Chains A and B, each alone.
Chain A
Amino acid sequence: MSPDAINVDNIEFSYGNVHAVKGITFDVKEKEIFGFLGPNGAGKSTTIKMLTGQIFPKKGKISVLGMDVTKKTGRVQARIGVSFEQTNLYEQMSAVENLKLFADLFGVKKFDADKLLAMVDLHGRNRDHVSTFSKGMKQRLMLARALVNQPEILFLDEPTEGLDPVSADNIRKIILKERERGAAVFLTTHDMMEADKLSDRVAFIHEGKIVALDSPYHLKQKFGKRLIKVETETASGELKETEITMDEPYTADDVRSLFAEEKVITIHSEEASLEDIFIQITGRGLTG
Chain B
Amino acid sequence: MNGRIIGTLIKKDVVLFFRDKFFGVMTLLMIVVFIVIFFILPATIRGTIKVGFYVPSFSTFFSKNLMTDGLVIQNMESDEEVRRAVMEKEVQVGISIPGGISALLDSEKPTDIFVYSSSEVPKDIQEMYTVLMNEMVTRMAGKKSPVNWRAVVLGPDLGGSQVPYRNRMIPLFAFMLIITETLGLANLISSEWETGNVQALMVTPLTVIDFFAGKGFTGVGLAFSQAFVFMAVTGGLKQNAFLVITALFLGSILVTGLAFVLASVAKDMMSVLGWGVLVLIVLVLPATAALFPGLFSGWIKVIPSFFLVDILSRAVNYDIGWSGNLKNIFLLGGSGVVCVVFGVFFLKRKIS
Contacts and interface: CB of A to CB of B under 8 A. Distances in A.
Interface string A94-136: 0001000110111100000000000000000000000000000
Contacts of B352: 55
Interface residues of A, number: 26
B20 interface: yes
Interface string A134-157: 000000000001000000000000
Contacts of A89: 197, 200
A101 B12 contact: yes
Interface stretch (B79-87, B201-209, B238-246, B251-259): B201-209
A106 B204 contact: yes
Interface residues of B, number: 21
Interface string A49-82: 0001111000000000000000000100110101
Given A86-B196, A92-B20, A105-B5, A77 B205 contact: yes
A93 B15 contact: yes
B45 to A, nearest CB: 47
Residue from the set B195, B199, B205 with the largest chain A CB neighbour count within 10 Å: B205
B237 to A, nearest CB: 34
Contact of A84 (B4, B5, B196): B196
A69 to B, nearest CB: 11
10 contacts: A54-B203, A80-B203, A84-B199, A86-B199, A88-B197, A89-B200, A93-B16, A97-B15, A105-B201, A107-B4
Interface in B197-232: 197, 199-207
A52 B203 contact: yes
A101 B206 CA distance: 12
A54 B203 CA distance: 7
Chain A residues touching B, majority SS: loop
A88 B20 CA distance: 17
B203 A107 contact: no
B19 A54 contact: no
B55 to A, nearest CB: 72
Nearest to B201: A105
A101 B196 CA distance: 15
B16 A102 contact: no
Contacts of A194: none
A84 B20 CA distance: 25
A84 B207 CA distance: 19
A78 B203 contact: no
B16 A101 contact: no
Given A54-B199, A80-B203, 17 more contacts: A54-B202, A55-B352, A77-B203, A77-B204, A77-B205, A78-B205, A82-B200, A84-B196, A88-B199, A88-B200, A91-B195, A93-B15, A93-B16, A101-B8, A102-B200, A105-B5, A107-B205
